Amino acid sequence: MPSNELKALLAMRWANRPDPLGPVEQIRSQDKTDPGRTPCQGATFDGLDADGVYCEWVDWETPTTESVFLYLHGGGYYRSSGPASRMAASNLSKACGCRCFTADYRLAPEHTFPAAIDDTYTAYQWLLQQGLSPRQVVVGGSSAGGGLTAALLAKLKMSGKEMPAAAVLLSPWTDLTQSSESYNTNAERDPSIWKEYLDVAAERYLGGADPKNPLASPLFSDMEGHPPLLIQVGKEETMYGDAEAYADKARQASVEVEFQVFDDVPHAWHNSEQHVPGIPEVWQALGQIGDFFRSHVQ
């Protein structure tokens, strides 16, 4: 049974479904006042320029490791931001005992594919230029950020660059063709995401590019040699099929995969502490992320 806090979050999601055709600037104006811009108690943040990409260090208290979690926000590639993810990043910092590094990648429709993956790649390389080993970096993100995480792995493989220690995909959007059967089977269960909404977001981001380009839809990428993966998704998400298909293909490529399915939770529930504090299902997931992080970094 869902907790009372999760029930409150679900009610909030159903009452505030996004308008896929709403003006982008109006939607982004709401993001500017998102309570997620305030990190959790005990956390600090500091902005910087990482070779042209605005990024932030977000730290909860004193990290217990020099390893880093590179976090990529969601928002369908057209909304949200690194600064709007301070709460999510600080909770990850708390759960993992590490510094969290957020990348404020460029957004569509002003900056179409491949702007987001290019900025993500730049942020990752900047971290390594600061003296970090790839074995000290875990990359992760939720929704579009989960897709970007997978796309970064694909780009690193194509470029012959060293992979991070591991990757964490949270409710990931891995296929911009929206072909999964779960868009039909879970259409009446998911309060946040539906096929037509993602069709509009994908069109904005792709700008005419092939939706099966592996750097846009990493489900179509070559996954051989990828690092260990943690994939978390809600059983009732319309994007459940994106997560499952990516996990299955990764396993077929002999990648180590932890595929964790949660009952009752909505899309990207990890990022909800600023709306309904203390959701047990959020902290259960974060605890498992922390365990995964610690087991894979140097």
Known catalytic residues?
A: 143, 237, 267
Strand order in the sheet with 99-103: 43-50, 53-60, 99-103, 68-72, 137-142, 166-170, 229-234, 257-262
The full 3-state SS of the chain, as one line of letters, equals: CCCHHHHHHHHHHHHCCCCCCCCHHHHHHHHCCCHHHCCCCCEEEEEEEECCEEEEEEEECCCCCCCEEEEECCCCCCCCCCHHHHHHHHHHHHHHCCEEEEECCCCCCCCCCCHHHHHHHHHHHHHHHCCCCHHHEEEEEECHHHHHHHHHHHHHHHHCCCCCCEEEEECCCCCCCCCCCHHHHCCCCCCCCCHHHHHHHHHHHHCCCCCCCCCCCHHHCCCCCCCCEEEEEECCCCCHHHHHHHHHHHHHCCCCEEEEEECCCCCCHHHCCCCCCCCHHHHHHHHHHHHHHHHHCC
